[in-house]
Amino acid sequence: MKTAELRQKDTAGLKEEVKSLQKAHFGLRMQKATQQLTNTTVLGQTRRAIARAKTIMAEQQRAAAK
């Protein structure tokens, strides 16, 4: 998901996005462990997407605190 799309979501939406990304990342890790994953670059992409969503969530919380 693009950063602009994430910035439009509220805190609850971002939490749901992070939860779904973490679930997807777990599934990919299990596929890798059982040697079913052929494209391992997806692991890094989901990890970065989780970090991106968490960063935007932290930015929104800092802005709300001001």
Structural domains of the chain in order of their starting residue, each with its CATH number: 3-65 (1.10.287)
Would you state the pLDDT for residue 17?
A: 96
Task: Write out pLDDT tens, residues 10-26.
Answer: 999 999 999 999 999 99
* DSSP helix/strand/coil, 15: helix
Instruction: Please give the model's pTM, rounded to 2 decimal places.
Output: 0.92
* N- to C-terminal Cα separation, the chain: 27
Residue 45 to residue 33: CA distance in whole angstroms: 18
Would you state the pLDDT for residue 1?
A: 79
Given 3-state DSSP classes, what are the helix, strand and coil percentages for the chain, each rounded to the nearest 5?
80, 0, 20
Residue 34 gets which letter from DSSP? T
Residue 57 to residue 53: CA distance in whole angstroms: 6
